[in-house]
Chain A
Amino acid sequence: MTAMQDMLNDPVANFALSIADDLLMLGHVQGDWTGIGPILEEDIASSSMSQDDLSHALMLFEHLGNRFGLDADVIAYERSPEDYRCCDLVTVPDEFDWAVALTRRWFVAHWAAPALERLGTSDDDELNERCRRLRSEQGLHLSYLDDWMRRLGAGEGHDRMQAAMTSLAPQACMLFELPTGLDDEDHRSRRDEIFEAWSRATTAVLTDAGFSVDLTMPSEEHIGGRRGAHAKHFVEQHTEMNEVRCEDPGASW
């Protein structure tokens, strides 16, 4: 069995990959906004968050790389699409609608923080230590993004944000699809706990800001990205990510 397959068969690795792939793809798609954000200050803040997201993904890939004898970039770039564990939300195309981009990031941030807390209770001290660091940095995103949500609850922003939330809510709930390899009672109950924390935290902000969204746990039958069934746009984004690497495979860049 190859090192890559070993990794993909490991439950903790799959949970780590679900977080790492979410942050990787979020940082990747948000890259489209760098330099063209609605306000210079927000453009700068958004780039900071993207760098955090990408470097958090990298830290998790590095951990997995050390554990399974793989190169972090190979894990990040070279898996086949069905071996990515990111959920459907992170790759939803925003069509350069900033309301969609902000809402997407806000939903993910509220998931990433408790998910990292969970991952940080593994048997591996080294992984737990990484998760602690990442969790505290993701926490900074939360307060920044919550602030924006509250700010946009009134006036012209309200309708645009409400529309974005309504359209993203089904995919947002797919954050909680159990990744391949984690289909046991223990993971199920942990997942339910994170869902509780997530819906409580997001609903509190939404109520404050005057938005309303229906957030429910997706049904088991709905198979999505966490189990490798990705939308066409994910495959396109993955291809774009690999465009330069594929020009001269194996070369160092």
Chain B
Amino acid sequence: MSGAANPVMPIDPCQEDPEKLAEFEANIANGVLIEPGDWMPEAYRVGMLRMSEHHANSEIVGALPEGEWITRAPSLRRKLALTAKVQDEVGHGQMLYRVSQDLGKSREDMLRDLCTGKTKYHNCFNYPAPTWADIAMIQWLIDGAAIMNQKTLADGAYGPYVRTMHRINMEEAFHFKSGEDMVLTLMSGTKKQKQMTQEAFDRWWGPSIMFFGPPDKPGCEDMPPMRWRMKIETNDSLRQRFVNRFAPAARDLGLVVHVCEKNEEGFVTQKQVDELCTPDEDGNWGFTTPNWDEFFKVIRGNGPCNAHRLALRRFSYEQGAWVRRAIASGDTTLPPAA
């Protein structure tokens, strides 16, 4: 999966040379890709760095909940597929850290800022994955959401990021297929498997709706993130597309969309059928507005799994320090190619 980055940037294009800025904006309007060596407004560089770094962080933190299930995967083929999937996500992180490095921040700094909590990663990874069916849901819903978002980002203006999105999206398509296959297998299985799957769906539907970020501010289309094609489509329009795609697919599989109350640990305590979840005459499916207070609470670090995920990242960073030092003091700073 991956993160939908929601660049929140302090943008003040007025400080820039007006002629250069005009040429930059004309290039973007004409579909010319911006490359690392090109002139760009400082706010654009900082914004792209934040977005790409946030995305990279999301990839490697996103590897954690699924990574914890490799040892429990219920068949050798699933074990292989899950290992490959988590490996892909780490690979996405690696590619995106490289894009970010070119925008001016070292990988070491980025990894450190991630585990000290100075930088963030995608909110959806702060929710628990207590069963095998949760792994199926992550690959189906979260990778599905990531593909929708990243397909639009592949239409952006920053060359290295755009090319990375194209590569990543091919792999995400495999993740999604595998997720779909897992959900289908479970929903064609025993009563117990179906129940497990419905419960996992209840846990992940809400975070999936919130995946695309909070409702857009009015006029966002004319603001720099969209004007500069760092972001291509609004959060709300992506969200609607997601619901249109997944609400009927869930129903066809025999899953029911619920509105859920959750406890501090992210487990459902109460649920009722989401009556709004039906198509209108334009074919747009309705959904109950998610609890945005919860969203912001999780962003601030108080979600069910924030502490656990960060602790594992920090542990990885610390236990690997000696290896990185050992390599840095040798002839080369890169490990041997696989």
Contacts and interface: CB of A to CB of B under 8 A. Distances in A.
Given A151-B336, A156-B325, A157-B326, A35 B60 contact: yes
Given A39-B323, A44-B338, A154 B330 contact: yes
A248 B327 CA distance: 46
B76 A61 contact: yes
Contact of B90 (A47, A155, A243, A244): A47
Nearest to B319: A96
Contact of A251 (B80, B83, B192, B322): B192
Given A36-B64, A151-B336, A157-B322, A44 B316 contact: no
B87 A253 contact: no
Interface in A196-238: 237
Nearest to A31: B70
Interface string B10-38: 00000000000000000000000000000
Nearest to A141: B338
A54 B80 contact: yes
A251 B178 CA distance: 18
Given A35-B60, A41-B94, A252 B185 contact: yes
Given A51-B80, A151-B330, A248-B193, A31 B319 contact: no
Contacts of B192: 247-248, 251
Interface in A144-174: 144, 147-148, 151-152, 154-157, 160
Residue of A35, A37, A77, A147 with most partner-chain B CB within 10 A: A35
A222 B196 CA distance: 45
B132 interface: yes
Chain B: number of interface residues, binned into ranges: 35 or more
A68 interface: no
A40 B322 CA distance: 14
A41 B322 contact: no
A155 B328 CA distance: 10
A240 B319 CA distance: 24
B73 interface: yes
A245 interface: yes
Contacts, number: 163
A223 B63 CA distance: 39
Given A155-B330, A253-B132, A253-B185, A35 B63 contact: yes
Contacts of A251: 189-190, 192-193
Contact of B335 (A24, A41, A50, A237): A41
A70 to B, nearest CB: 13
A129 interface: no
Contact of A51 (B87, B320, B321, B336): B87
A58 interface: yes
A241 interface: yes
A98 B319 contact: yes
A57 to B, nearest CB: 7
Q: Is the interface of B mostly helix, strand, loop or mixed?
A: helix
B73 A39 contact: no
B86 interface: yes
A34 B86 CA distance: 7
A221 to B, nearest CB: 33
B67 A35 contact: yes
Contacts of A237: 71
A204 to B, nearest CB: 18
A58 B132 contact: no
A61 B76 CA distance: 10
A24 B65 CA distance: 22
A97 to B, nearest CB: 8
A109 to B, nearest CB: 13
A29 B190 CA distance: 29
A43 interface: yes
Given A41-B94, A61-B76, A155 B326 contact: yes
Given A44-B94, A241-B71, A251-B190, A38 B86 contact: no
B67 A34 contact: yes
Given A248-B193, A251-B192, A38 B79 contact: no
A243 B330 CA distance: 43
B132 A47 contact: no
A37 B327 CA distance: 14
15 contacts: A35-B86, A35-B90, A39-B324, A44-B87, A51-B84, A54-B79, A55-B80, A98-B323, A154-B329, A155-B330, A240-B71, A241-B72, A248-B192, A251-B193, A253-B78
Closest 9 CB pairs of A and B: A38-B320, A47-B87, A35-B63, A31-B70, A45-B338, A35-B67, A157-B326, A36-B316, A38-B323
Given A47-B90, A61-B76, 19 more contacts: A29-B71, A34-B70, A36-B64, A36-B313, A38-B321, A40-B94, A43-B87, A44-B90, A50-B83, A55-B80, A58-B76, A73-B75, A76-B76, A96-B315, A151-B330, A156-B325, A240-B71, A253-B74, A253-B185
